[in-house]
Structure 1
């Protein structure tokens, strides 16, 4: 395509991951003071407004963006992402950014494993070995035989599983719906679900924290816009590995701002998980390249 610019696409992906890491830090700060449902609800209100505006200025408008033959699946997929964000933010508050992101990094491996029964995809032995290696990395992080396994680890691990299912549903709905429709339902269904939950947990916020909330919402809009542009400018297989930079950025933020500690087993386990995930991503991209 003439409008492709892989280098710019990679640069935008790196910037997007930095923005998303900053969002994680702001979310941890706000959710540590206010109810997490309310925080995510307000974030989704602004995201939905952005989605509606984005869809209305594109060809066909909102009518075309909302046109789908699989509305239940689209709504469920968007609601699942919203609930996944809630679970992950709870993990940030209870475990910190470093360990939460370390365990969340397993989601590409879960996508590989679940793609077989859910989408009927073929996965070779090399990718199955990467899944097994990633599982070993998680065990190193958790240290289940050392008496230090935290019950709060369920939050980032559950979040990784939910996000993996969300990613697979994205692939499934893409067989019949364009990305504009999927993006529209991501914002709308998430806002509906979070409003039904979060409106019961409303708390007054200080002026300073409203400033943080506005920054969170603004960064969410900017991050999603840059992510869209990145995928428009470059092939997904070329920029997807750079998504792991969010782990690096969030870890630095956790250590510097929140005083998180990077334990040796977490660093080693994370390195194994990331290496296994990158291998799975690269192997998955080879058939499409051919």
Structure 2
């Protein structure tokens, strides 16, 4: 009897390349959101744009192929909770990037695998041993090194980053559950339609248009980057297993650092070089332990 299917090496390499491209797109979301905030666009409107444009693209590309089946979910309640979790992550993150460098928000986002590991105990009934609990504790020490509470460098927007990471962790756990019910196209549609309808009654009170060309570019890019990122990571996950892709998610810190430095003139400070490796190292250790224990591995991306 043959063993489980293993994608060929060429497919794995393509999957890794597509995943790295997705992480670049996710960096583009945060960069566009930060830029829109700098040119005077409300974060409520930025969140709406991210999902409304995403919804239009999903409907345009997937609806002709899947038809009405894309609109039907086998578990709509779970889809709504999942969409609400991602909307919370997006809102908290888009507000946080107005006050903090992308390097800080990106580094704190890497606590997601630590939070997923911790939340899997009460939500999924999984057993987490002392080694992984220790890694979770060490990871949050790394966060403290980055944000330095009690000093002049600390900004209250850090709590928004932690809320975004917690919401993302819930989103990833719910994604793991909903994958057994619905297709990726259906899940993307629910994410877009829920946030768009939820924000539609309030966004007119915050609506304004960019006054510059670069503002208009960011205006449309925030939704386009979101759609492309989700598409690329979905395709990558079909070409390479999560155990292969997971470590490459941490490459996003390089994209975040480059964007922060080159676009916003906010280079990383010395404490980021100390704290970020601690957070990333803790996440990688948890990945190694879960791989050794043959537990499901989540490809962690800073989904927005």
Both structures adopt the same fold (TM-score exceeding 0.5): yes
Distance change (3 Å), C-alpha of 1:213 and 1:63: same
Q: Which 10-residue stretch deviates more, 85-94 or 19-28?
A: 19-28
Aligned partner (choices 219, 223, 242) of residue 225 of structure 2? 219
**1:2: how far off?**
8.2
Distance change (3 Å), C-alpha of 1:132 and 1:238: same
Aligned partner (choices 189, 199, 203) of residue 194 of structure 1? 199
Judge conservation of contact 1:79–1:193 (CA < 8 Å) in 2.
no
Kindly provide the CA deviation profile for residues 219-265 of structure 1, in whole angstroms up to 9, marking residues without a partner as x. Answer: 33322222221111111221122122222211121122212142222
Structure 1: 5+ residue stretches without partners: none
Aligned partner (choices 37, 45, 56) of residue 63 of structure 2? 56
Judge conservation of contact 2:7–2:240 (CA < 8 Å) in 1.
no
**1:143: how far off?**
2.1
Kindly provide the CA deviation profile for residues 19-59 of structure 1, in whole angstroms up to 9, marking residues without a partner as x. Answer: 2212211210002221011122122111011222343244x
**1:200: how far off?**
2.4
Q: Distance in 1 between matches of 2:287 and 2:195?
A: 27
**1:133: how far off?**
1.1
Q: Which 10-residue stretch deviates more, 139-148 or 254-263?
A: 139-148
Q: Distance in 1 between matches of 2:56 and 2:83?
A: 15
Judge conservation of contact 1:18–1:249 (CA < 8 Å) in 2.
yes
Instruction: Report matched runs for 1:98-247 at 5 Å.
Output: 98-146=103-151, 148-206=153-211, 208=213, 209-247=215-253
Aligned partner (choices 274, 280, 292) of residue 274 of structure 1? 280
Distance change (3 Å), C-alpha of 1:164 and 1:240: same
Q: Distance in 2 between matches of 1:113 and 1:56?
A: 37
**Equivalent residue number for residue 54 of structure 2:** 47
TM-score w.r.t. length of structure 2:
0.87
Is 2:100 aligned against 1:95?
yes
Q: Which 10-residue stretch deviates more, 232-241 or 8-17?
A: 232-241
Q: CA RMSD in A?
A: 2.1
Aligned partner (choices 7, 16, 36) of residue 13 of structure 2? 7
Kindly provide the CA deviation profile for residues 153-182 of structure 1, in whole angstroms up to 9, marking residues without a partner as x. Answer: 111111111111111111222343343432
Structure 2: 5+ residue stretches without partners: 297-304
Q: Distance in 2 between matches of 1:51 and 1:148?
A: 41
Distance change (3 Å), C-alpha of 1:133 and 1:2: closer
Q: Which 10-residue stretch deviates more, 27-36 or 179-188?
A: 179-188
**1:145: how far off?**
4.9
Distance change (3 Å), C-alpha of 1:75 and 1:155: same
Judge conservation of contact 1:82–1:194 (CA < 8 Å) in 2.
no
Distance change (3 Å), C-alpha of 1:177 and 1:220: closer
Structure with bigger helix share is: 1
Q: Which 10-residue stretch deviates more, 199-208 or 109-118?
A: 199-208
Q: Distance in 2 between matches of 1:173 and 1:115?
A: 15
Kindly provide the CA deviation profile for residues 77-119 of structure 1, in whole angstroms up to 9, marking residues without a partner as x. Answer: 1132123112101111101111111112111100100011011
Q: Secondary structure at the match of 1:94?
A: coil
**Equivalent residue number for residue 259 of structure 1:** 265
